[in-house]
A and B are shown apart, each in its own frame.
Chain A
């Protein structure tokens, strides 16, 4: 099979509708009799709810109903988060019963003829709150005595565990020096341009619940809603259309999804809720608030002999259903050594509750393993007076070490641990940069260069799942189904739920090449739980490139085999002597002897007994694909910055990514994923923060407070690909997360490099201009 489409930047199948305003996003859904919902939300981080008065709200023109927990209790149970035995979790109601636990906690739902009228109704609901002390600082929780977020759990420290790999005491006993640091990562938010939402339509006569949603996993949402509402699964269907981004936010089960579906059951009409931006920033989901205390035993050349790590994570008030907080810590722990030779590690994990928004997965949810490790390598370099590039080189594994099990039990193979790093260092021309840097410093200018090495599981491998341990359900097997249609065109059903990843294009490229047809003869169907293969993840975890591709290639080959069997009967030629070329089955060596695929498709469906011995009509096949070892997507990121000493403004002058993601299905799609991720990572360092005060009052609920990168804030991102020897026939790896993982590390590295001669050491990730000036002032005594 000669690949014709795979490997080239085929135009996106999605684009004709997206570019002409003909997409189908959730807010475009309208149903007969549909009501619009708006939520009454807590203005307090923490309070007892003494009473809710809806009398006046029901008088507001257009308002049809106001639903509180007393109403919802009749049709919905609580949300029930799962967790391992050593994680404290409690079930919680979708609307506040007697307590609110964060700013924005939903208390009631107003249903009205229009959204504006629903919001009028929200203003008229009277809630009697008795404020409680808010919990907004992990040190307060660790010190003890904070007001309990869930009194029934008895503690705001939800989890503690320690894992030991190798012999750390021995490593520290022989250390030349110990380098230690406290590394703080702030709260990020995913901020998709389309906020969350749901349209739920309960039909009381049929007993069915039809849900339209913007969700990364329609099957998971269906499962959760059927559970919580007690509706038979056969009566629950979830569909998703175009989704305006997510980055991990539209996963699991939310308060709002339960409340809106329950509201539709209560009123027997369709109910639509479209989250507004303020709600999205407040309660849509936040991520990454973690602190790592690290001690490194090092030798005189900067080699790391052992690590002692203590990581504390603030999970917010409510756990995310489907995503136990321990999962993040265990993947950070397992990936921490990456491709560096770090054999002895002690890793302590702590999870605390606060009165903040729910911690959700965000593009590379384990990103802090890269940021903390690369930060540490720089700090070791500064302490020992060695160039940070040399420290990395001395600690990196080489291809001679491969394959290898990391200290944490992760199998490393399928990539060259030095290749992307060496190529990046060559591209940077470091000697020339250091000369420019010296000249710039002589003029009082601040320029710096930074690097970071990323080893991204894309998708997760069996050994990584084992290394994560308890609650790391594999969920990696993926199924695809394909049908040869009546006219020889092909429909492919995937469990992926794309929201910007272009799967309608990439999966069609793979199918078309296998079947020898044009991309316009293939349609990729996703997002309808009635049609698509079951999968609890949907799109996430950088899984599609390998797992969805593997399943789709597998099923396309089965369809191809069946086509050749049917053609063999029709043409009376052995299948081994037939080939599929340009939409026809042709006899090898006799190109004039051919049957159009259209004819085979038609006859397979309409001629009894042709396609299947048991009389089933048509050709429709299914195939699965599971992950294997070695599916790593690795990259080295590098950036150059210049910092204005007067304003503290950081300008990124150059950004380079050298990556190995195996073979590339569609280069424009891959590079777009990498660049988009990098820019989110740049934004996280320079602009973006979900801000709370110490009592957990929320401070960044608009785009005037929560800044995002614009086209003027970011440079072009140079993306280079290197390719190693294929380890498997399906040699595509994911790239969805690596960009966002590498960028905070490379950028903070460059910022420290620009300021290092002043004595500045960067141990925090959020570095807006004012903070840069503070760091300079503190170091220089200004």
Chain B
């Protein structure tokens, strides 16, 4: 197709952070562009646009995906969670709280992708060890921290989640 040919536009309907959202997008538009440009959710960051750095990672039906490598229209009818959707109102998600307590990040650019990757890890594996955390975030590049503080933040998040679960169990008993 040459650059001067007309381009196809399609309607897409996606649930984003629990809300139904609609947009009319070019067929070639990426999910990241849909989120950032059409839905104005700029928390998702684009660090390489070729699927390596992981900054743009979002959850698609609970599974981490690279929103730069996926077309917006492929998300039709699916559920997306971005960094804006992690906290429950004013209450930070355990990965946010853990990373806050451990000074996990510096510049903040890789942060959304790592938080969502970590959230998915803790969903699947509530008590990961350090090796599991490192493996889980090995597809996310951080240039500032050397990763140690991020690993510690995610391990702390697992503790926070366990404490919260124990607290609930206690209340129920």
Contacts and interface: CB of A to CB of B under 8 A. Distances in A.
Nearest to A121: B3
Interface stretch (B59-67, B70-78, B144-152, B158-166): B144-152
A588 B114 CA distance: 51
Contacts of A12: 100, 103
A192 B147 CA distance: 15
A245 B111 CA distance: 12
Contacts of B105: 15, 18-19
Interface in B67-96: 82-84, 86-87, 92, 96
A22 interface: yes
Nearest to B145: A676
A122 to B, nearest CB: 9
B115 to A, nearest CB: 7
A683 to B, nearest CB: 9
A57 B84 CA distance: 38
Contact of A21 (B6, B44, B103): B44
A205 B33 CA distance: 33
Nearest to B103: A668
A460 B37 CA distance: 44
Contact of B109 (A16, A22, A244, A711): A244
A283 to B, nearest CB: 16
B4 interface: yes
B43 A20 contact: yes
A481 B105 CA distance: 28
B106 to A, nearest CB: 4
Interface stretch (A140-148, A433-441, A498-506): A498-506
B26 interface: yes
Given A20-B83, A277-B49, A714-B146, A60 B3 contact: yes
Given A21-B82, A712-B135, A193 B109 contact: yes
Given A11-B100, A15-B105, A18-B111, A717 B135 contact: no
Contact of B107 (A11, A194, A709): A194
Contacts of B144: 193, 245, 500, 672, 676
Given A20-B43, A21-B112, A277-B48, A679 B147 contact: yes
A247 B107 CA distance: 11
A245 B107 contact: yes
B86 to A, nearest CB: 7
Please indicate which of the listed interface residues B28, B29, B142 has the most CB atoms of chain A within 10 Å of its own CB: B142
Q: Is the interface of B mostly helix, strand, loop or mixed?
A: loop
Contact of A23 (B96, B108, B149): B108
Interface in B117-173: 133-135, 137-151
B4 A711 contact: no
B45 A672 contact: no
A244 B45 contact: yes
A21 B139 contact: no
A203 interface: no
A194 B45 contact: yes
A771 to B, nearest CB: 23
Contact of B42 (A18, A28, A244, A714): A28
A672 B106 contact: yes
B142 A19 contact: no
A191 interface: yes
A65 to B, nearest CB: 16
B13 interface: no
A193 B107 contact: yes
A245 B103 contact: no
Contacts of B142: 193
Interface stretch (A309-317, A381-389, A559-567, A700-708): A700-708
Interface string A28-63: 100000000000000000000000000011011100
B143 A243 contact: no
Interface string A743-770: 0000000000000000000000000000
A239 interface: no
A499 B107 contact: yes
Nearest to A124: B3
Interface in B14-29: 26, 28-29
A354 B148 CA distance: 38
A244 B138 CA distance: 19
A105 B6 CA distance: 30
A708 B143 contact: yes
A19 B103 contact: no
A120 B43 CA distance: 27
A192 B92 contact: no
A672 B145 contact: yes
A777 interface: no
On chain B, which size bracket covers the interface? 35 or more
A244 B103 CA distance: 16
A728 interface: no
B103 A675 contact: no
B146 A61 contact: no
A169 to B, nearest CB: 45
Nearest to B99: A19
A756 B156 CA distance: 42
A662 to B, nearest CB: 20
Please indicate which of the listed interface residues A28, A193, A194, A717 has the most CB atoms of chain B within 10 Å of its own CB: A193
Given A20-B87, A500-B144, A716-B148, A59 B4 contact: yes
Contacts of A714: 146-147
A482 B41 CA distance: 34
Nearest to B82: A21
Contacts of B52: 702-704
A680 B147 CA distance: 11
A717 B147 CA distance: 10
A19 B147 contact: no
Please indicate which of the listed interface residues A11, A195, A244, A679 has the most CB atoms of chain B within 10 Å of its own CB: A244
Given A245-B143, A672-B144, A672-B149, A710 B107 contact: no
Interface string A667-679: 0110011011011
A679 B4 CA distance: 46
A56 B4 CA distance: 8
Contacts of B101: 11
Interface in A401-445: none
Contact of A703 (B48, B84, B87, B134): B48
Contacts of A295: none
Contact of A675 (B99, B112, B146): B146
Nearest to B86: A20
Given A276-B49, A711-B151, A679 B146 contact: yes
Nearest to B41: A21
A704 B26 CA distance: 28
A128 interface: no
B59 to A, nearest CB: 13
Nearest to B44: A21
Interface of A: 9, 11-12, 14-16, 18-23, 25, 27-28, 56-57, 59-61, 114, 116, 120-121, 123-124, 191-195, 242-245, 247, 276-277, 499-502, 668-669, 672-673, 675-676, 678-680, 702-704, 708-712, 714, 716-717
Interface of B: 2-4, 6-7, 26, 28-29, 33, 36-37, 41-50, 52-53, 55, 82-84, 86-87, 92, 96, 99-103, 105-112, 115, 133-135, 137-151
26 contacts: A11-B103, A15-B100, A18-B105, A21-B41, A21-B86, A25-B109, A56-B3, A60-B4, A61-B4, A116-B29, A124-B4, A193-B47, A242-B107, A244-B45, A245-B143, A245-B144, A277-B47, A499-B107, A500-B106, A502-B106, A679-B146, A703-B141, A709-B146, A710-B140, A711-B134, A712-B134
Given A15-B99, A20-B84, A60-B3, 8 more contacts: A18-B111, A19-B111, A21-B86, A22-B43, A193-B53, A193-B143, A277-B48, A708-B143
